[in-house]
Amino acid sequence: MEDTASRDRPLLPQTSPVPTFDGERASLSLDAFGRLVLVLPGAGPLVGVFPVRCFPFSAPTRRISLCDPHGAEVACIEDLTRLPTPIRELIEGEMARREFLPVITRILEVSPGGEPSAWHVVTDRGRTRFLLASEDHVRRLGAEGLLISASDGVRFRIVDHKALDARSRRVLRRYL
Amino acid sequence: MNDLGDARNDAERTTRDEIAPHLLPGEHLLAIARLDLGPRLEFREGRVALTDRRLLSLPGLGAPGTLDAWSLSDVSGLSAGDRGGLGTLQVVSTLGLLGRWHYTLGRAREVTGLLDAWDSLRAGRKPTASSADVSRPAGEPEVPEALRREEAPRVGTLFRLLRFARPHAWWLVLGISLTLATTAAGLVPPLLTWPLVDDILSPYQEQVKIVREDPSIGEVEREARLDDLRRNRSEPFSAVPWYLLGMLGSALAAWGLGWAQGWVLARTSERISADLRNTTYAHVHSLSLDYFGAKRTGDLVSRISSDSDRICYFLSDTVTDFTADALMIVGTAFMLFYMDPILALATLCTFPLVAWFTYVTRTRLTEGFARGYRAWDEMTSILADTIPGVRVVKAFAQEHREVERFKEVNRRIVAANDRVNRVWTFFWPMIAMLNQVGLLVAWAFGAWRVYDQRITVGVLTAFLAYIARFYSRLESMTRMAGSTQRAAASAQRIFEVLDRQPSVPEPANPVHPGRVRGELQLKNIGFRFGNRRILEGLSLAIRPGEMVGVVGPTGAGKTTLLNLICRFYDVSDGAILLDGEDIRAFPTLEYRRNIGIVLQDPFLFYGTIAENIAYGRPEATRDEIIAAARAARAHEFILQLPDGYDSIVGERGQTLSGGERQRVSIARALLIDPRILILDEATSSVDTRTEIQIQEALDNLVRGRTTLAIAHRLSTLRNASRIVVLDQGGIVQSGSHDELLAAGGLYRSLYEAQNRRDIEGDPDPGGPAPVPGIA
Q: What is the average per-residue pLDDT within B424-442?
A: 82
**Contact between B594 and B674 (Cβ < 8 Å):** yes
Terminal-to-terminal C-alpha distance of chain A = 38
pLDDT over threshold 80, residue B350: no
H helix or E strand, kind and range, residue B35 = strand B29-37
**Contact between B329 and B477 (Cβ < 8 Å):** yes
pLDDT over threshold 70, residue B571: yes
d(CA B63, CA A56): 78
DSSP strand pairing (B676-680 vs B706-710): parallel
Q: What is the average per-residue pLDDT within A32-45?
A: 82
Q: Of B436, B464, B498, at which residue does a domain stop? A: B498
Q: Which of B512, B622, B627 sits opposite A13 (nearest CB)?
A: B627
Give the count of alpha carbons within 13 A of B366, CB side only. 17
H helix or E strand, kind and range, residue B221 = helix B219-232
At residue B658, the 3 state secondary structure works out as: helix
- Using a CB–CB cutoff of 8 Å, tell me whether A44 touches chain B: no
Same-domain status, B184 and B117: no
- B138 band by pLDDT with thresholds 50, 70 and 90: very low
Mean pLDDT of chain B: 79
**Contact between A16 and A76 (Cβ < 8 Å):** yes
Contact A12 B608 (CB under 8 A): no
Per-residue pLDDT, B23? 85
Neighbours of B116 (CB within 10 A): 19
In chain B, % of residues over pLDDT 70? 89
For residue B504, being part of any structural domain is answered with: no
Closest CA–CA distance from residue A128 to any residue of chain B (Å)? 22
- Strand intervals (E) in chain A: 27-30, 36-39, 45-53, 62-67, 73-79, 104-110, 117-123, 126-132, 138-141, 145-149, 155-158
Same-domain status, B397 and B529: no
pLDDT over threshold 60, residue B584: yes
- Measured in residues, chain B has a length of 775
Using only C-alpha atoms, chain A has a radius of gyration, in whole angstroms, of: 21
Cα distances from B2 to residues A79, A116, B139, B498, in angstroms, run 59, 59, 8, 19
Closest CA–CA distance from residue A9 to any residue of chain B (Å)? 8
pLDDT over threshold 80, residue B115: yes
Please report the DSSP string for B315-378 in residue order.
IIIIIHHHHHHHHHHHHHHHHHHHH-HHHHHHHGGGHHHHHHHHHHHHHHHHHHHHHHHHHHHH
Contact A10 B644 (CB under 8 A): no
To the nearest 10 degrees (0 to 180), the angle between helices B240-286 and B457-498 is 10
Contact A55 B640 (CB under 8 A): no
Per-residue pLDDT, B768? 41
DSSP strand pairing (B54-59 vs B68-71): antiparallel
**Contact between B272 and B161 (Cβ < 8 Å):** yes
Q: What is the average per-residue pLDDT within B56-63?
A: 81
Same-domain status, B217 and B275: yes
pLDDT over threshold 60, residue B703: yes
Q: Which of A1, A11, A55 sits opposite B645 (nearest CB)?
A: A55
For residue B151, being part of any structural domain is answered with: no
- Using a CB–CB cutoff of 8 Å, tell me whether A7 touches chain B: yes
Same-domain status, B93 and B193: no
- Using a CB–CB cutoff of 8 Å, tell me whether A79 touches chain B: no
ipTM of the complex model:
0.77
Same-domain status, B590 and B737: yes
In chain A, the residue whose alpha carbon lies closest to the alpha carbon of B591 is A1
DSSP strand pairing (B706-710 vs B547-551): parallel
Cα distances from B449 to residues B247, B333, B351, B471, B651, in angstroms, run 27, 18, 21, 21, 76
- B646 band by pLDDT with thresholds 50, 70 and 90: confident
Q: Which residue ranges make up each domain of chain A? A: 2-98, 104-175
**Which amino acid is present at B189?**
P
Cα distances from A29 to residues A46, A74, A82, A86, in angstroms, run 10, 15, 17, 10
- B759 band by pLDDT with thresholds 50, 70 and 90: low
Contact A56 B644 (CB under 8 A): yes
Print burial letters for B283-320: b (CB count within 10 Å at least 16), e (below 16): bbeebbebeeeebbebbbebbbebbbebbbbbbbbbbb
Residues of A in contact with B671 (CB under 8 A): 10
For residue B24, being part of any structural domain is answered with: yes
Q: Which of A8, A13, A72 sits opposite B631 (nearest CB)?
A: A13
**Contact between B337 and B344 (Cβ < 8 Å):** yes
Say which CATH number the domain at B9 has.
2.30.29.30
Same-domain status, B300 and B342: yes
Express each pLDDT in B161-214 by its tens digit. 888 888 888 988 888 888 888 878 877 887 888 888 888 888 888 888 888 888
How big is the CA angle at B734 (ends B731 and B736), to the nearest 5 degrees?
Answer: 155
Contact A73 B515 (CB under 8 A): no
At residue B471, the 3 state secondary structure works out as: helix
For residue B298, being part of any structural domain is answered with: yes
Q: What are phi and psi of A102, to 5 degrees?
A: -60, 140
**Contact between B507 and B586 (Cβ < 8 Å):** yes
Same-domain status, B317 and B428: yes
Cβ-Cβ contacts under 8 Å for B313 (sequence gap 6 or more): B483, B487
- Using a CB–CB cutoff of 8 Å, tell me whether A20 touches chain B: no
Using only C-alpha atoms, chain B has a radius of gyration, in whole angstroms, of: 39
**Contact between B66 and B39 (Cβ < 8 Å):** no
d(CA B505, CA B88): 30
Strand partners, B54: B71
Nearest one of A47, A41, A46, A53 to A91, comparing CA atoms: A53
DSSP strand pairing (B86-92 vs B97-104): antiparallel
Q: How far is CA A167 from the centre of its chain?
A: 28
For the ranges A35-49, A111-125, B5-19, B109-123, the lowest mean pLDDT is seen at B5-19
- Using a CB–CB cutoff of 8 Å, tell me whether A153 touches chain B: no
d(CA B257, CA B251): 10
A–B CB contacts, 8 A cutoff, strictly below = 79
Say which CATH number the domain at B720 has.
3.40.50.300
H helix or E strand, kind and range, residue B11 = helix B2-19
Same-domain status, B456 and B573: no
Contact A4 B646 (CB under 8 A): no
pLDDT over threshold 70, residue B508: yes
In chain B, DSSP finds a helix count (H) and a strand count (E) of 26, 19
For residue B644, being part of any structural domain is answered with: no
Contact B646 A57 (CB under 8 A): yes
Same-domain status, B86 and B231: no
More confident residue, B133 or B623: B623
With an 8 Å Cβ cutoff, the interface of chain B facing chain A consists of 512, 514-515, 590, 593, 608, 610, 617, 622-624, 626-628, 630-631, 635-636, 638-640, 642-646, 648, 652, 670-671, 673, 700, 703-705
pLDDT over threshold 50, residue B335: yes
Residues of A in contact with B517 (CB under 8 A): none
Domain ranges, residue B586: 520-602+676-760
Q: What is the average per-residue pLDDT within B603-616?
A: 85
Residues of A in contact with B648 (CB under 8 A): 139
Residues of A in contact with B704 (CB under 8 A): 11
For residue B202, being part of any structural domain is answered with: yes
Same-domain status, B113 and B241: no
d(CA A174, CA A132): 13
- Using a CB–CB cutoff of 8 Å, tell me whether A6 touches chain B: no
Cβ-Cβ contacts under 8 Å for B440 (sequence gap 6 or more): none
Residues of A in contact with B596 (CB under 8 A): none
Same-domain status, B331 and B458: yes
**Contact between A151 and A133 (Cβ < 8 Å):** yes
pLDDT over threshold 50, residue B774: no
d(CA A141, CA A138): 10
Q: What is the average per-residue pLDDT within B630-654?
A: 81
Same-domain status, B456 and B539: no
Domains in chain B: how many in total?
A: 3
For residue B352, being part of any structural domain is answered with: yes
pLDDT over threshold 70, residue B319: yes
Q: What are phi and psi of A59, to 5 degrees?
A: -150, 75
For residue B666, being part of any structural domain is answered with: no
